[in-house]
Amino acid sequence: MTTLTARPERFASLDMFRGATIFLMIVVNTAGAGGAFTQLQHAPWFGFTLADLIYPSFLFAVGNAMSFALTRPMPEPVFLRRIFKRAALIFLLGMLMYWFPFVTHQADGSWVAKPFADTRLTGVLQRIALCYLLGALLARYLRPSHLAMVAVGLVVAHWAILTGLSPAGEAFGRYKNAGTLFDLWLIGPEHLYKKDHGFDPEGLLGTLPATANVIAGYLTGLAIQRWGKHAATVGRLAAIGAGLVVVALLLSPILPIGKKLWTGSFVALTVGLDLILLGAVLWLVEVRGVTLGRSFLQMLGRNPLAIYLFSELLVVVLELVHVDGVGLYTWIGLNGFQPIAPGPVGSLLCALAYTLVCCAFGWVLDRKGIILKV
């Protein structure tokens, strides 16, 4: 168990890392009409793009924040009540987000209630909730050295289940691997991701290796607090990160890198890159004292859940309003940005403009002192 009792020093770089992650997440999720750049789209199956780094980076940032929260003295009943309540609320918000707007538009122009029976139960926030819960419990009761071994164990367990329980030749396939079969059996296709014909990229089995990303963020947060704001800390983070990237590349021929399955090589690669990127931010902000963008990214990092939910719900509302046969957000992309910059450039400009609108929402909340905590 971690026994730090002194109130830990805050690091602006960690808050900025979280803020940058939520900014890029919105950009990727809300590409405008015209087709996004390849690096801003998720790899179709195996492979890796910039977009694939964002979600595991957010989980890594969740672990960073946990390294500060769990060092405060807290009685056992209070700790358990808080983490289970927080996980349940995040999970519930994820379900409601996919159910929203609770009605569907019919071909005849009418609106009918959207049945819960057709609502997705898995998803981004749901995985965050489960990974947070498992990661917090492990961090509470295990020493950091043991926690690192458990993170490796979760990755190995995921690989063993895929290779040992999937039908022959289907371990790394899309529709018949052990994780997909488990999701179909336990949850059912009507409550899974609708766009991939039965495969869910946020299925339950992927929670195991994804929790390793949270644990890595937690251990990194502890290490930075102990090592301090020094160039030597940056060097250590970069060296460990580079080593993990090499491990991922060496593993990739036998354990392909893939976000949708959240393979062990994907965990090693994303944690390695996050360590390198976080080290770079720490060097710029904590060592060199660069202040450019600090207030903006810290503002985003203080309210990531509220800003993310706003970004997801607003675009749904915009798409409910039809103009010339298409949703309003699509229409804005087609008529407001594509004439100026056709293709992926216009798509990116549209996404950036929308992201700035979401940032403005976060700024208003920040000015009013409103922080969405669950």
Query: pLDDT tens digits, residue range 185-242?
Result: 999 888 888 887 778 999 999 999 999 999 999 999 999 989 988 899 999 999 999 9
Q: What angle do CA 71, 75, 81 make, to 5 degrees?
A: 95
Distance of alpha carbon 299 from the chain centroid: 18
CA distance readout (Å), 65 to 54, 68, 135, 279, 304: 17, 6, 12, 16, 12
Q: Which residues of the chain fall below pLDDT 50?
A: 1-6
Q: What is the spatial distance between Cα 338 and Cα 323, in angstroms, rounded to a whole number?
A: 16
The predicted structure's pLDDT at residue 374: 62
The predicted structure's pLDDT at residue 241: 97
The predicted structure's pLDDT at residue 56: 96
The predicted structure's pLDDT at residue 9: 61
Structure tokens given for 342 = 């056709």
Cis peptide before 201 (omega within 30 of 0): no
How many helices (H) and strands (E) would you count in the chain? 13, 4
Q: Residue 150: which residues within 8 A CB-CB, separation 6 or more?
A: 138, 142, 215
Contact 187/121 with Cβ under 8 angstroms?
A: yes
Q: What is the spatial distance between Cα 325 and Cα 239, in angstroms, rounded to a whole number?
A: 53
The predicted structure's pLDDT at residue 125: 94
- Residue written as tokens 């999970």? 91
The predicted structure's pLDDT at residue 19: 92
Closest among 359, 67, 52, 43 to 218, alpha carbons compared? 67
> pTM value?
0.92
DSSP H or E run through 57: helix 50-69
Q: What is the spatial distance between Cα 152 and Cα 43, in angstroms, rounded to a whole number?
A: 24
- Residue written as tokens 């930075």? 224
DSSP H or E run through 5: none
The predicted structure's pLDDT at residue 8: 56
